[in-house]
């Protein structure tokens, strides 16, 4: 659906777009400009059907990362928006949302801002149905209404940070581990200089490791800066016999470095910290992977109440047994709907067997964790990339869908690390991203 009229940069800013490239020196100015553009386009497109436009994520908290180029600013990550429609109005189809997104990204690019915009659409009942978890807490406390009903976020039930279940922190960490695999997927050897995409994903991994750990420690906060501050306090008071999974001082140092880089305006090739090399090498990424592995095991052991040494597989099996059947059923219904009830009938017996033990989320996390715990060892010289090791082939076989459009079926018997990572990422994007089941 096309906007009823075309907005020009001059109509919004009153200035020539060619002069806008270096005027977003503060994240707040960027937020206001993007928010204004998005609100106007959305209301022009949907009119009175739309009740409110809400900005979420790091840009809403003025903690987005800006990279200064020669003639424009690049927003790393994306600007996340939630469109709330009146209850009696059908939600727009994905194709209409995609067209709207393209129009807005083109519009802000003319203002000297390069970046991606993402949208979710919902009715007010969605807000009223939100239960305590990280996203709902940050949406209620940090979301910015950029157009429409300014009181719309009060529909979210009020709850405290201590009401958020610890499982939500472990899920967040697991999601970031999958995304780290995605960033590593195209590499065949250790890079001397981290590609920018991998550098950014590693920064995000550290930041959300802090989020996850603080939730388990009872010190969660909704902003990066406050999390870094609370983590520093915990690190400075850590007793010698503390049962934390790693040295909190070292971990806190890394989180503080990444926080400063994440919330500051930076030149295109700036490293996360002045203390690091001019360009961080792969050892910096390796350290993040080691921290993530230790934290993931520690949190999963806390969730299942395990005090003895147990394998990852044992911990995951205990975790799956703790999950209610209703959650498993909801997850597999998502798979059925995505794959088509009639087209997927050949998979029903296999999905039924898997469903007795765990949900699609459980099995995807199992495959991702087995792969993640091999890092960084699969990186060998070009031409000598090894096959997957350990239990990864077993976990791989338990993924909801063991196929990928880019994978040669003959490779399924002995998949490489990169091929397994590709299929894990595909299952995560298709079945987990848009649901909590």
Read off the pLDDT band of 138 (50, 70, 90).
very high
pLDDT at position 353: 94
- Surface-to-core class of residue 355, CB atoms within 10 Å of its CB (0-12 exposed, 13-18 middle, 19+ buried): buried
Read off the pLDDT band of 234 (50, 70, 90).
very high
Q: Say yes or no: 40 and 104 in one domain.
A: yes
Q: Say yes or no: 302 and 330 in one domain.
A: no
> Shortest CA distance to 181 belongs to which of 203, 201, 210, 207?
201
- Distant-in-sequence, close-in-space partners of 237: CB < 8 Å, separation ≥ 6: none
Which pTM value belongs to this model?
0.88
Q: Please, what is the average pLDDT of the chain?
A: 85
Answer whether residue 314 is part of any domain.
no
Tell me the per-residue pLDDT of 121-136, one tens digit each, with 9 for 90 and over.
999 999 999 999 999 9
Which domain range does residue 408 map to? 324-437
Read off the pLDDT band of 398 (50, 70, 90).
confident
pLDDT at position 378: 52
Q: What is the DSSP string of 329-395?
A: HHHHHHHHHHH-TTTTGGGHHHHHHHHHH--HHHHHHHHHHHHHTTTTTT--STT-PPBP-TTHHHH
Q: Say yes or no: 114 and 231 in one domain.
A: no
pLDDT at position 416: 74
Least confident of 130-139, 190-199, 360-369: 190-199
Q: Say yes or no: 149 and 110 in one domain.
A: yes
Q: Say yes or no: 196 and 92 in one domain.
A: no
Q: What is the CATH number of the domain that holds 251?
A: 1.20.120
Answer whether residue 319 is part of any domain.
no
Answer whether residue 128 is part of any domain.
yes
Answer whether residue 3 is part of any domain.
no
Q: What is the CATH number of the domain that holds 26?
A: 3.30.460.10
Final residue before a domain boundary, out of 308, 334, 351:
308
Q: Say yes or no: 33 and 126 in one domain.
A: yes
Final residue before a domain boundary, out of 161, 185, 214:
161
Answer whether residue 41 is part of any domain.
yes
Q: Say yes or no: 257 and 290 in one domain.
A: yes
Answer whether residue 316 is part of any domain.
no
Final residue before a domain boundary, out of 126, 161, 196:
161
More confident residue, 14 or 391: 391
Read off the pLDDT band of 19 (50, 70, 90).
very low
Q: Say yes or no: 42 and 86 in one domain.
A: yes
Q: How far apart are CA 95 and CA 63, in angstroms?
A: 30
Number of domain units in the chain: 3
Distance of CA 129 to the CA centre of its chain: 22
Count Cβ atoms below 10 Å from residue 24 Cβ, excluding itself: 23
More confident residue, 43 or 388: 43
Q: Say yes or no: 296 and 336 in one domain.
A: no
Please say whether the beta carbons of 401 and 370 come within 8 A: no
Q: Say yes or no: 348 and 287 in one domain.
A: no
Q: Say yes or no: 293 and 399 in one domain.
A: no
Give the CA distances from residue 147 to residues 35, 36, 51, 54, 124, in Å, rounded to whole numbers and listed in that order: 8, 8, 8, 7, 15
Q: How far apart are CA 72 and CA 323, in angstroms?
A: 48
Q: Say yes or no: 13 and 156 in one domain.
A: yes
């Amino acid at each position: 659906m096309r906007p009823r009229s075309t907005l020009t940069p001059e109509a919004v800013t009153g200035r020539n777009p060619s002069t806008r490239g270096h005027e977003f020196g503060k994240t707040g100015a960027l937020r206001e400009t993007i928010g204004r553009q998005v609100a106007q386009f959305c209301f022009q497109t949907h009119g009175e059907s739309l009740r409110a436009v809400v900005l979420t994520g790091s840009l809403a908290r003025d903690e987005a990362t800006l990279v200064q180029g020669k003639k424009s600013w690049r927003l790393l990550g994306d600007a996340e928006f939630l469109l709330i429609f009146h209850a009696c109005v059908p939600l727009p189809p994905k194709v209409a949302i995609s067209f709207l997104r393209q129009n807005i990204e083109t519009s802000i690019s003319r203002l000297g801002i390069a970046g991606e915009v993402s949208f979710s659409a919902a009715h007010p009942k969605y807000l009223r149905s939100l239960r305590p978890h990280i996203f709902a807490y940050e949406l209620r406390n940090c979301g910015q209404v950029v157009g429409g009903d300014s009181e719309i976020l009060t529909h979210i039930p009020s709850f405290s940070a201590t009401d958020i279940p610890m499982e939500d922190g472990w899920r967040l960490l697991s999601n970031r581990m999958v995304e780290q695999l995605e960033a590593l997927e195209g590499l065949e050897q250790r890079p001397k200089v981290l590609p920018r995409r991998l550098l950014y994903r590693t920064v995000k991994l550290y930041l959300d490791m802090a989020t996850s750990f603080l939730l388990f420690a009872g010190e969660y906060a909704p902003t990066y800066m406050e999390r870094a501050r609370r983590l520093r306090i915990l690190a400075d008071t850590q007793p010698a016999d503390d049962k934390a999974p790693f040295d909190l001082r070292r971990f806190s140092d890394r989180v503080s470095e990444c926080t400063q880089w994440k919330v500051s305006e930076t030149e295109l090739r700036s490293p996360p910290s002045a203390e690091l090399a001019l360009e961080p090498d792969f050892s910096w990424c390796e350290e993040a992977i080691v921290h993530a592995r230790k934290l993931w095991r520690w949190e999963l052991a806390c969730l299942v109440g395990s005090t003895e040494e147990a394998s990852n597989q044992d911990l995951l099996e205990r975790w799956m047994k703790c999950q209610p059947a209703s959650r498993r059923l909801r997850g597999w219904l998502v798979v059925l709907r995505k794959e088509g009830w009639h087209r997927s009938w050949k998979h029903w017996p296999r999905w039924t067997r898997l469903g007795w033990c765990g949900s699609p989320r459980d099995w995807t996390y199992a495959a991702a964790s087995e792969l993640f715990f091999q890092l960084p060892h699969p990186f060998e010289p070009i031409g000598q990339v090894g096959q997957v090791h350990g239990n990864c082939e077993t976990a791989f076989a338990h993924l909801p869908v063991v196929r990928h459009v880019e994978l040669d079926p003959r490779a399924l018997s002995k998949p490489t690390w990169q091929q397994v990572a590709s299929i894990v990422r595909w299952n995560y994007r298709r079945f987990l991203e848009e649901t909590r089941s």
